[in-house]
Amino acid sequence: MPYKLFDADKEIPEREKHVYKKHCSDPDGEMPHCNTKTVPGSMTERGCAFAGAKGVITGALKDVLHVVHSPVGCTTYSAGTKRYPTSPDLPDGTKFPIENFNLKYVCGTDIQESDVVFGGMKRLKRSIIEASKEFPEANAIYTYATCTTGLIGDDMDAVAKELTEELGKDVVAFNAPGFAGPSQSKGHHIANHTIFDRLVGTKEPPNTTPYDVGLIGEYNIDGDLWVLESYFKEMGIRILSRFSGDSTHDELCWMHRPKLNLVRCQRSATYIADLIKDKYDVPYIKVDFFSTEYCAENLRTIGKYFGLEKEAEKVIADRMAKVGPELEFYKKKLQGKKVYIFSGGPKSWHLAIPLENELGMDVTAVASQFEHEDGYVKMKKRVDEGVLIVDDPNSLEFEEMIEEDKPDLILAGIKEKYLAHKLGVPSIMIHSYENGPYIGFEGFLNLAKDMYANIYNPVWNLVEFEENPAGEEESKIESGSI
């Protein structure tokens, strides 16, 4: 049922529709309003469509040069990426010569008022040529519309087409200006379609095997993709295409060749899996590798698909032997701790059941910056009765929730972290992680360790709350256990 919790919402009554409390009597389709533009006056934590395209999807590639067609600010603020580590290895066995290229460089056109008045295409062309000379090692150049250049209507596709011929390498235009949709989610969508339209099917891999998969929607945050890759390798499965963590331009071009696609982030990347299925008949399955139970279940499904059941069991047994006993310790420590999960969307439903069932925690609120209805259906299914589900939350609401409900821990992003700290509540980053990776068996143990270290950090004894003026609450890290 819609739930009115926030004083702040007296000022913005439309926000009520975005806050929902799960109740057993609710009809199935009832959920928070979502994927609509942010209510005016609400200080959203969302990103923009350009951030969704470059920051999430393409920024993870290791051998691509990015040229942002913007005033200098959009370029500056898209410099680097999230914690998207890359290895230098390229599919042909050579190494990319610049280490952490995706984290280090971004180019921009630095458009000026005269470009806005007379058009920015000449400057775009000049900038791409100059950037290409500066970084000849890049295997492709991706260029991005932003709000200003989207508004003046520069025909970026025409420039990209012309320069692809002139430079002899793919130049791809991503037309996802910030205003293209209500959140970064629209940028994911546009980037999926652009990559499919421009790249998929344009190159062939050096070879194929009957055990090739495409791993779609896995961006290698803090090494997540490498964890999954190690399981697949041990099972005898090869990742032929990665979309797009630690990936290369060429891998996107042969995304039509895996025998099976695995869709990890189902918000940002199901689009391309659907397009590939429809055009090239490559089936896909949606996978969930967060926590030991989901990871085991999904490795079994994949093993079964390829007739590698025994190999899957071996990986599961091996990893469980490694993490199981230690997890028991954290389970005892985390039992009953009240936790919020505030993510872009998917991580809020991925983690709800594992935190409850595998660690005995109590998830009392989940939130999403940009989920769509299908994501909220999963979220609603996976949380308990009475749990708050908040769409596109703002910091005033967040503050009120913390004050009212007093969670022990908040899994959120950098925007919420220090606000939580100021309110005396530990918070760890579930977007880019603290001491990740967080996926798979080892990852779930890392997450449990980080949650424990944060909840039991003695620093919280120094916070003086009204109910605890002397800061007497018992919280102590057991030495040697983290």
Q: Cα angle at 230 between 228 and 236, to 5 degrees?
A: 105
Closest CA to 481 of 459, 456, 460, 463: 456
Task: Read off the DSSP letter of residue 104.
Answer: H
Least Å from the CB of residue 55 to ligand CFM: 7
Nearer to ligand CFM, 265 or 388 (CB): 265
Nearer to ligand CFM, 22 or 82 (CB): 82
Which amino acid type is present at position 457?
N
Closest CA to 372 of 346, 352, 403, 342: 346
Task: Read off the DSSP letter of residue 291.
Answer: S
Helices (H) and strands (E) in the chain, counts: 19, 14
431 scored as a contact of ligand CFM (CB under 6 A): yes
In a 13 Å sphere around the CA of 415, the CA atoms on its Cβ side amount to 16
Binding to ligand CFM in span 197-236, by CB under 6 A: 219, 221
Binding to ligand CFM in span 69-98, by CB under 6 A: 82
d(CA 269, CA 15): 28
Measuring CA to CA, how many Å separate 412 from each of 340, 379, 480? 8, 16, 27
Helix (H) or strand (E) holding 469: none
Residues in CB range of 104: below 8 A, 6 or more apart: 80, 98
Nearer to ligand CFM, 121 or 367 (CB): 367
69 three-state secondary structure: strand
Least Å from the CB of residue 174 to ligand CFM: 15
User: Binder to ligand CFM among 32, 71, 120, 344 (CB under 6 A)?
Assistant: 344
Closest CA to 71 of 33, 110, 115: 110
**Tokens of residue 286, six digits:** 């949606």
Binding to ligand CFM in span 165-184, by CB under 6 A: 184
Least Å from the CB of residue 346 to ligand CFM: 4
56 scored as a contact of ligand CFM (CB under 6 A): yes
User: Which range, of 8-16, 105-113, 344-352, 359-367, touches ligand CFM by CB under 6 A?
Assistant: 344-352
Nearer to ligand CFM, 395 or 475 (CB): 395
Cis peptide before 177 (omega within 30 of 0): no
Taking only Cα atoms into account, the Rg of the chain, rounded to an integer number of angstroms, comes to 23
349 scored as a contact of ligand CFM (CB under 6 A): no
CB-based contact 80:291 (threshold 8 Å): no
d(CA 388, CA 191): 32
User: Which range, of 92-100, 302-310, 314-322, 343-351, touches ligand CFM by CB under 6 A?
Assistant: 343-351
Least Å from the CB of residue 56 to ligand CFM: 4
Nearer to ligand CFM, 187 or 426 (CB): 187
Least Å from the CB of residue 344 to ligand CFM: 2
319 scored as a contact of ligand CFM (CB under 6 A): no
- Which residue's structure tokens are 């399955």? 285
Binding to ligand CFM in span 242-301, by CB under 6 A: 265, 267-268
User: Which range, of 19-27, 309-317, 338-346, 354-362, touches ligand CFM by CB under 6 A?
Assistant: 338-346
Which amino acid type is present at position 290?
F
User: Which range, of 173-181, 301-309, 341-349, 470-478, touches ligand CFM by CB under 6 A?
Assistant: 341-349
Neighbours of 379 (CB within 10 A): 27
347 scored as a contact of ligand CFM (CB under 6 A): yes
Nearer to ligand CFM, 57 or 275 (CB): 57
21 scored as a contact of ligand CFM (CB under 6 A): no
Alpha helices in 222-307 (DSSP H): 224-235, 249-253, 270-280, 292-306
In the complex, residue closest to ligand CFM by CB? 344
Backbone angles phi, psi at 53, to 5 degrees: -75, -55
Nearer to ligand CFM, 267 or 333 (CB): 267
42 scored as a contact of ligand CFM (CB under 6 A): no
How many residues make contact with ligand CFM (CB under 6 A)?
14
Binding to ligand CFM in span 357-396, by CB under 6 A: none
Least Å from the CB of residue 97 to ligand CFM: 27
345 scored as a contact of ligand CFM (CB under 6 A): yes
Nearer to ligand CFM, 163 or 265 (CB): 265
Nearer to ligand CFM, 127 or 185 (CB): 185
d(CA 251, CA 258): 10
**Which residues form the interface with ligand CFM (CB under 6 A)?**
56, 82, 184, 219, 221, 265, 267-268, 343-347, 431
